[in-house]
C-alpha cells in the first residue's frame, strides 16, 4: 500500500546532539513538507520541497536542516542550535493542490 513512513515513532536524545528524523513516501508525490507540533497547538511549517534537490525554509526553519536527494526521501535533521527541540514532528506530501497526506509522526524528546 502507498503511504508515508516516519521512523522512529519515539526518539530520545541528549541535549546538544544532532538527530535525523526519517521520512519516506512511495506515493510518487513531488512536494513534501515537515511540520512541528507542540502540545495543544497547530502545525508549524519547518521546511518544504517542491522537487528533488530543491527545498525552501518555512516559518520556523532555524535550528533545522533538510535534504532532498531522492523523490521518495525527505529527512529532517534537528541540530543543537534548535533551542526547544522536544515536539511532535510530522512529515507530509502533497496529494493535490488542496490536500496533504501525513505520516504517523515522530515524537522527539530531548533530555
| 3 versus 81: smaller Cβ distance to other proteins | 3
| Among the listed residues 40, 83, 84, 111, the single contact to other proteins using CB under 8 A | 40
Give yes or no for residue 8 binding other proteins (CB under 8 A).
no
Cβ proximity of 97 and 109 under 8 Å: no
Measuring CA to CA, which residue among 74, 75, 95 is closest to residue 27?
95
| 60 versus 77: smaller Cβ distance to other proteins | 60
| Among the listed residues 32, 105, 108, 110, the single contact to other proteins using CB under 8 A | 105
In the complex, minimum distance from the CB of residue 50 to other proteins, in angstroms, rounded to a whole number: 6
| Among the listed residues 76, 85, 103, 110, the single contact to other proteins using CB under 8 A | 103
Cβ proximity of 85 and 20 under 8 Å: no
- Sequence-distant (6+) residues with CB within 8 A of 43 are 35, 36, 37, 90
Which letter, b or e, does each residue of 32-54 get, where b requires 16 or more Cβ atoms within 10 Å of its Cβ? bbbbbeeeeeebebbbbbeeeee
Q: List interacting residues with other proteins (CB under 8 A).
A: 31, 33, 35, 40-45, 48, 50, 56, 58-59, 90, 94-95, 97-105
Amino acid at each position: 500500500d502507498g503511504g508515508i513512513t516516519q521512523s522512529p515513532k519515539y526518539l530520545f536524545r541528549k541535549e546538544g546532539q544532532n538527530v535525523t528524523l526519517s521520512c519516506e513516501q512511495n506515493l510518487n508525490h513531488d512536494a513534501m513538507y515537515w511540520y512541528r507540533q507542540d502540545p495543544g497547538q497547530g502545525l508549524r511549517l519547518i521546511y518544504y520541497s517542491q522537487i528533488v534537490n530543491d527545498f525552501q525554509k518555512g516559518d520556523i526553519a532555524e535550528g533545522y536542516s533538510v535534504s532532498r536527494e531522492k523523490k521518495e526521501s525527505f529527512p529532517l535533521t534537528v541540530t543543537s542550535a534548535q533551542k526547544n527541540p522536544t515536539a511532535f514532528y510530522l512529515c507530509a506530501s502533497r496529494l493535490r493542490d488542496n490536500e496533504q497526506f501525513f505520516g504517523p509522526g515522530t515524537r522527539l524528546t530531548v533530555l
